[in-house]
Amino acid sequence: MLTLALALALNATYEMADLKALEKQGSFKELVDHLDDITPSKRDKEWEGVAERGATGLLGTLEVKDEGPLDTADALLKRYVFLKQSKLFMGKRAEVAFKAFKLTFGGSRHSAGDDPWLDRVRRFPESDSVTPDLPVRLAKEVVLGRLIPETAFPLFKLAWDKGNKGLCKDPDFQKTMVDVLGGGLWKAESAEPRDKCWDDLKGPLTAKLQKEGTSVFARNACPVFTAKGGVPAEGKAACGGLIQ
Listed by start position, the domains of the chain span 10-131, 134-244
Question: Residue 68's pLDDT band (boundaries 50, 70, 90)?
Answer: very high
218 vs 241: CA distance, rounded Å: 11
77 vs 68: CA distance, rounded Å: 14
What is the arithmetic mean of pLDDT over 70-85?
Answer: 96
pTM: 0.86
- Indicate whether 3 pLDDT > 60: no
- At 194 the pLDDT is 94
Query: What is the identity of the amino acid at 74?
Result: D
Q: Which long-range contacts (CB under 8 A, 24 or more apart) does 83-87 make?
A: 83/51, 83/52, 83/55, 84/127, 84/128, 84/129, 84/130, 85/129, 85/130, 86/52, 86/56, 86/130, 87/130, 87/131
What is the arithmetic mean of pLDDT over 75-103?
Answer: 96
- Indicate whether 100 pLDDT > 90: yes
Q: What are phi and psi of 133, to 5 degrees?
A: -90, 5
22 vs 134: CA distance, rounded Å: 31
- Indicate whether 1 pLDDT > 50: no
First-residue to last-residue Cα distance in the chain: 93
Tell me the per-residue pLDDT of 164-187, one tens digit each, with 9 for 90 and over.
Answer: 989 999 999 999 999 999 887 898
- At 116 the pLDDT is 87
- At 13 the pLDDT is 87
Tell me the per-residue pLDDT of 215-244, one tens digit each, with 9 for 90 and over.
Answer: 888 888 888 998 998 888 887 888 876 654
Specify the DSSP element, H or E, that contains 104: helix 87-104
- Indicate whether 8 pLDDT > 50: no
Tell me the per-residue pLDDT of 15-32, one tens digit each, with 9 for 90 and over.
Answer: 999 999 999 999 999 999
Are 155 and 135 in contact, with CB atoms under 8 Å apart? yes
Tell me the per-residue pLDDT of 185-195, one tens digit each, with 9 for 90 and over.
Answer: 898 999 999 99
- Indicate whether 210 pLDDT > 90: no
- Indicate whether 77 pLDDT > 70: yes
Q: What are phi and psi of 185, to 5 degrees?
A: -70, -40
- At 6 the pLDDT is 46
Tell me the per-residue pLDDT of 104-159, one tens digit each, with 9 for 90 and over.
Answer: 998 766 555 568 899 999 999 999 999 989 999 999 999 998 999 999 999 999 99
- Indicate whether 5 pLDDT > 60: no
